[in-house]
Copies of this chain bind each other. A is one copy, B any other.
Amino acid sequence: MNQIVPVILCGGSGTRLWPRSRASKPKPFLPLVGEQTLFEATLSRCSAGEDFAPPVVVAGRQHLDLVEQQLGDRAAQVIVEPIARNTAAAIALAALRLPEEAVMLVCPSDHHIGDCAAFTVAALAAAALARDGWLVAFGILATAPETGFGYIKQGEPLGDAGFRVSRFVEKPDAATAKRFLDEGGYHWNGGIFAFAARTFLAELEKHRPKIAGAAREAVAGGHGEGRRFHPGSDTFARIESESVDYAVMENTDLAAMVHADMVWSDIGNWQALHAATAQDASGNAVRGRAELVDCRNVHVSSDGPRVSVIGVSDLIVVVDGDEVLVTSAAGAQQVGKLEGAANQ
């Protein structure tokens, strides 16, 4: 079995794209860039065929309808999390449901990748390293002093297509991010990983034995239902909530990375979405009905009402049902703290 198994993580309910993204219909399931939803685009990027096997989708119970609707009739396994327990547990469930020798490609379902061919090249390189026993992260070349991402410092080369990881760095402050950029050799941690199931589980057992044990127990006590798999919910609820970065990647001696120059965005807020969206000559982007007069770098997204905008720059306007959001580009990072986003 040489094919890569995409493991698509649909957990998380970001508030930073509120009011379009809401608890009942979060970011992965919205057509934010282009006509496909981010989840559909993720499925398309690793469609079953020569390189990829059918995916394993890990999703919360409350989003199961959305997942199955957007999966359509694709072959897939859907692991239904009774409660969100972060990525270490989610990946453990998937690893335990696959053959030991399977190579998993862990993909968030809510990122945008502009260059799918480059993604495939990176995936194949990462899978080759994973088969050799490495835990492989995708590194996105840092092009700005971003403080919203974790960073990976590149180490020694591993053959032609990869590197050891020198170290992982949590989200840095602005001065540190600037230093990383000046120094070079730092990459954003895109949250995409390639692991052999066997290696991942062994390293999880080594560094987080409780998470590994509880995941094993939840899978043993679970049951299938068509293409769905339901882990034992009492056991799963007791699993510690920790990211795969903290639980495994920062601790393992087997961390590697590949370069992934694939026009990536985590669509982490409205300004990031604007940057990932096709723009006119004035830098404006519109979804829905709008008229823009004397505007530059304005992003309008409306689910119905017409939006008329005059004489502004670097502004985002979102209309969604009973909520209207107007934010400066710089203010986009504060959207999650709004009353509406907090109490949705």
Contacts and interface: CB of A to CB of B under 8 A. Distances in A.
Contacts of A319: 305, 324
Interface residues of A, number: 34
Interface in A307-344: 307-312, 315, 317, 319, 321-328, 330-332, 334-335, 337-340
Contacts of A335: 308, 310
A328 B305 contact: no
Contact of A326 (B304, B309, B338): B309
Contacts of A340: 291, 306, 308
Interface string A142-161: 00000000000000000000
Contact of A305 (B291, B323, B327, B338): B323
Contacts of A183: none
Given A312-B315, A340-B291, A307 B326 contact: yes
Given A305-B322, A308-B327, A310-B332, 16 more contacts: A291-B338, A291-B340, A293-B331, A294-B331, A305-B321, A306-B322, A307-B326, A308-B335, A308-B338, A308-B340, A309-B326, A309-B327, A311-B328, A311-B330, A312-B315, A319-B324
A120 interface: no
A70 interface: no
Nearest to A298: B326
Given A338-B291, A340-B306, A311 B331 contact: yes
15 contacts: A293-B331, A293-B337, A305-B324, A307-B326, A308-B324, A308-B325, A308-B326, A308-B327, A310-B331, A310-B334, A311-B331, A311-B334, A315-B326, A319-B324, A324-B324
Interface in A240-266: none
Contacts of A47: none
Interface of A: 19, 291, 293-294, 302, 304-312, 315, 317, 319, 321-328, 330-332, 334-335, 337-340
Given A293-B334, A331-B294, A340-B291, A323 B311 contact: no
A316 to B, nearest CB: 9
Contact of A312 (B19, B293, B326): B326
A325 B326 CA distance: 11
Contacts of A304: 322
